Amino acid sequence: MTISIVNAVVSFVAALVLHEVGHYVAARLCGVPIKQAGFGWGPKLFGVRVSDVDCQLRMLPVGAYIQMDMVALQTRPLLQQLFVLGAGIGMNLTLCILTWGSLFGALNLALAIGNIVPFYQLDGWKSGMVICRRMFGRPSPLVEWVLTLGGGAIALAVFVRAFLNF
């Protein structure tokens, strides 16, 4: 039982960190500076600066993030922006295929699917914003609100459906 819990925790943490490594590598390949990398949410527990990147460990170990220079990202061509935003999902899908049939593979698949949903601040939502802004040639508050609220409704429906099937 204890080994299963340790396996689940280590697999979850590794899947989160490797997802962000995907974003990090893609951003570096496209010349987008990284400002901060962190694991967890809430107050900062520990921090260190590595190669101009502020690395942080936060109190609640339920997420990870890479903070990029958004101005630099927005000046890149559309395909580079989508490559950087989708690289975490790509990393999780690759790891899922390589470790198919394991808990680690299942967690990577769940993380990839969860990030595709256009829920606020997840990769699918950010990619949707980039595409909408490119289509309209500028930010459109109405379209962005529709994407945000529609994405929230989709995320809620997926969560409720998954919960009812559990």
Catalytic, out of 12, 20, 84, 105: 20
Task: Say which amino acid occupies 30.
Answer: C
The contacts of residue 93 (CB under 8 Å, 6+ apart) are: 108, 109, 112
In angstroms, the Cα distances linking 150 to 2, 22, 33 are 40, 27, 31
Tell me, yes or no, if 144 is annotated catalytic: no
Cα 63–chain centre separation: 9
Q: How many other C-beta atoms lie within 10 A of the C-beta of residue 81?
A: 21
What whole-number distance in Å separates Cα of residue 82 and Cα of residue 126? 9
User: Which residue numbers are catalytic?
Assistant: 20
